[in-house]
Amino acid sequence: MEDTTQQQDQPLALGAAATALGVALTVAAPATPAEAATAAGAGGYAADARAATNAQRVDHGRTRVGKNGCLQRKAVQQAERMARAGRMWHQDLQRVLRDCDMRVVGENVAQGYRSGKATVDRGWMRSAGHRQNILEPDFRSMGLAARKGTGGRWYVAQVFGAR
């Protein structure tokens, strides 16, 4: 039997996208096996990821990002869609831009991490595109949601914005 304990916080996949005046950037890391079980519920998972995001921003001399109701709804909708489908993808960021009345938005998505902190610290911060979204000085607001899919795998959507 294979020992998977060292793989627990490795992602199955990551994705980052940003849009500024209609320009999109997508970055994806190669898939690796992961075990995605956690005792925390979706609220605890998302709260941990939100705290880890703001800790990274402060550690790098950036201001904390606050909550935004529209961006939060977009993050929840995306996390729920990915969990139901059992796969990860980016939502239409032009729609987020328009619906949330933002001048720039960015999105990080992930699947397969055991905790919100691991998603940020061991996943997104180790990937140039995701890290760029997290540390973008213009971003002032964020929505973040996590949902469990089939088999207990977590799907996470983090949506940033600036007016």
* Contacting residues for 144 by C-beta, under 8 A, at least 6 apart: 46, 49, 50, 53, 72, 75, 156, 157, 158, 159
Cβ 156 vs Cβ 145: under 8 Å: yes
pLDDT at 16: 73
pLDDT of residue 7: 28
Taking 50 as the pLDDT cut, the residues of the chain under it are 1-12, 20-40
Are the C-beta atoms of residues 71 and 143 closer than 8 Å to each other? yes
Looking at residue 34, what is its pLDDT? Answer: 33
Q: Closest Cα to residue 134, out of 21, 19, 57? A: 57
**Which residue carries 């992961």 as its tokens?**
34
Reported as half-sphere exposure (CB side, CA atoms, 13 A), residue 46 has a value of 22
